[in-house]
Amino acid sequence: MAFGLGTGSAHAQASAFEVTRSDAEWRRLLTPEQYAVLRKAGTERAGSSPLDREKRTGTFCCAGCDLPLFSSATKYDSGTGWPSFRQPLDKAIATRQETGFLFMAQTEVHCRRCGGHLGHVFKDGPKPTGLRYCMNGVAMTFKPGASPS
């Protein structure tokens, strides 16, 4: 998998989160790909995540702390190559403005419990929210079964 590094992430202020670990602990707990995305704000290569093609009923959780993030009921195929959702579960994520590629402002999405970088949210999604939560599949796990709404 190819990863690009972002400009940083909210995980830099680790003390602000319920789940905090040292860098060495994160490296032990996560795969190299998960670490690159969740802790260093990397981006997985488009089309590389099996979660983009996941169609079962269930819940998408943070790969860093297992917090439920998205219900499969809000997932849709955006055609971008990344798992996309219309909305997160209540109190699952936090966002912050960041300066991205070519100094363009974008909104980063991170896990509200551990601060792990998940992806970005864009204003080009379907109704009813009009939002597209474009997530890195490697930053999440999938739990099949009934999903929270």
Residues marked as catalytic: 134
Given a contact cutoff of 8 angstroms between Cβ atoms, the answer to whether 30 and 38 are in contact is: yes
Given a contact cutoff of 8 angstroms between Cβ atoms, the answer to whether 145 and 56 are in contact is: no
The encoded tokens of residue 16 equal: 């602000």
Tell me which residue has tokens 């601060």.
115
Half-sphere exposure of 10 (CA within 13 A, CB side): 22
